Amino acid sequence: MHHTLSAAATVDRWNNQTPPRLTVAPGDTVTFQCTDSSGGQVRPDWTAADFRARFEPLRVHTLTGPVAIDGSEPGDALEIRIDAYQHHGHAWTSLIPGLGLLPEDFPDHHLFIWKLEERVTRSFPGVTLDLHPFAGIIGVQRAEAGEFRTRAPGPFGGNLDVRQLTAGTTLFLPIFTPGAGVLVGDCHAAQGDGEVCINGMEAPMDVTLTFHLHKRRPLAGPYAIFPGGFAPPRYATRPWHLFIESDEQPREACRRAVRRAIEFIVARLGVTPAMAYTLCSVVLDLKVSQLVNVPTTTITAALPDAIFD
């Protein structure tokens, strides 16, 4: 059976006492109608001044659910087949003082609004980006009693921001409470590995998931089967720019690599550093290249040349 759950009533905290809005049988499919991560606060006509004056960060992340899976109990595993995503034609990416990988470099608010075509966006000057929509948050209710902010992920899933959770991927989560209590949101039309400025392309989206239940199958944490294609095929048609940094502190290596990518984009496109940082957050992929040369970690930041018009 196929159900639809609207975004008419949403939550922005984990709380295993929140009653389910819908109970479905194993094998059922649910389309979650999700607002953007701000709960619809950020409008397509907003400016950076609007964002600075009107944005309420305590409303992030806005999630649709919970959905209970009939018969599910702690110790079971939930199989979630990701069937489809449908964006609503727009998204946003922001810089917020004090947040992101480089808060000391970007002390001011910044907002960029993306207009989304079916498969690409041409909103950024001199760039065409392929979309790869996914939900930043897919999770079940936590085992702990109480109310928790949604920012930190965990064994229950949650704010994983794994951009490979695209349509065609199957995600498995351990269940900690009767009914599981599935919540979905924080959808991104595109995101680089690292989401360095604090946002991907934050987008309202419809998310269609099919659920299967595996009884008495303990699972240590989230596990997924991804069909492959770690980058859009078009990005493989031209070279990649690799910014490589090593440091005993992995975040320091990340900072230097991203700063070099920002400098490259500014020189290539003539945009502001804030715009270049925004672009990095939605397309630059940060990878751990080596951990064996203790205590030094090497980070590679990869930028596809195919995005440049």
Task: Give per-residue pLDDT as tens, 260-306.
Answer: 999 999 999 999 999 999 999 999 999 999 999 999 999 999 999 99
Residue 133 contacts residue 205 (beta carbons within 8 Å): yes
What's the token pair of residue 130? 């392929």
Find the CATH number of the domain harbouring 202: 2.60.120.580
Find the CATH number of the domain harbouring 251: 3.10.28.20
Q: Report percent pLDDT > 90 for the chain.
A: 99
Distance between CA atoms of residues 61 and 40, nearest Å: 11
- CA 141 to chain centroid: 18
Do both 29 and 130 map to the same domain? yes
Domain edge (last residue) among 199, 225, 251: 225
pLDDT at 49 over 90: yes
pLDDT at 36 over 90: yes
Distance between CA atoms of residues 93 and 282, nearest Å: 8
Domain edge (last residue) among 174, 199, 225: 225
pLDDT at 5 over 90: yes
Identify the domain containing residue 273 by its residue range.
238-307
Residue 175 contacts residue 158 (beta carbons within 8 Å): no
- The amino acid sitting at 146 is G
pLDDT at 151 over 90: yes
Query: DSSP 3-state assignment of 212?
Result: strand
Query: DSSP 3-state assignment of 305?
Result: helix
Number of domains in the chain: 2
Q: Between helices 273-283 and 250-269, what is the axis angle to 10°?
A: 120
Residues 6+ positions from 53 with CB-CB distance below 8 Å: none
Do both 275 and 144 map to the same domain? no
Residue 247 contacts residue 296 (beta carbons within 8 Å): yes
Mean pLDDT of 252-262: 98
The answer to the question of residue 231 being in a domain is: no
- The amino acid sitting at 132 is H
Do both 255 and 221 map to the same domain? no
Do both 74 and 176 map to the same domain? yes
Torsion sign over Cα 105, 109, 113, 119: positive
With cut-offs at 50, 70 and 90, classify the pLDDT of residue 19.
Answer: very high
| DSSP, residue by residue, 243-295 | EEEEESSHHHHHHHHHHHHHHHHHHHH---HHHHHHHHHHH-EEEEEE--STT
Among 139, 141, 144, smallest CA distance to 165 is for: 139
Give the CA distances from residue 179 to residues 49, 135, 202, in Å, rounded to whole numbers and listed in that order: 43, 21, 29
With cut-offs at 50, 70 and 90, classify the pLDDT of residue 58.
Answer: confident
Do both 97 and 52 map to the same domain? yes
State pTM to two decimals.
0.96
| 128 burial type by CB count under 10 A (0-12 exposed, 13-18 middle, 19+ buried) | middle
- The amino acid sitting at 121 is T
Task: Give per-residue pLDDT as tens, 186-215.
Answer: 999 999 999 999 999 999 999 999 999 999
Task: Give per-residue pLDDT as tens, 92-147.
Answer: 999 999 999 999 999 999 999 999 999 999 999 999 999 999 999 999 999 999 99
With cut-offs at 50, 70 and 90, classify the pLDDT of residue 78.
Answer: very high
Distance between CA atoms of residues 265 and 287, nearest Å: 19
The answer to the question of residue 24 being in a domain is: yes
* Cβ neighbours around 33 below 10 Å, total: 18
Do both 79 and 153 map to the same domain? yes
What pLDDT was estimated at residue 145? 96
CA atoms within 13 A on the CB side of 138: 32
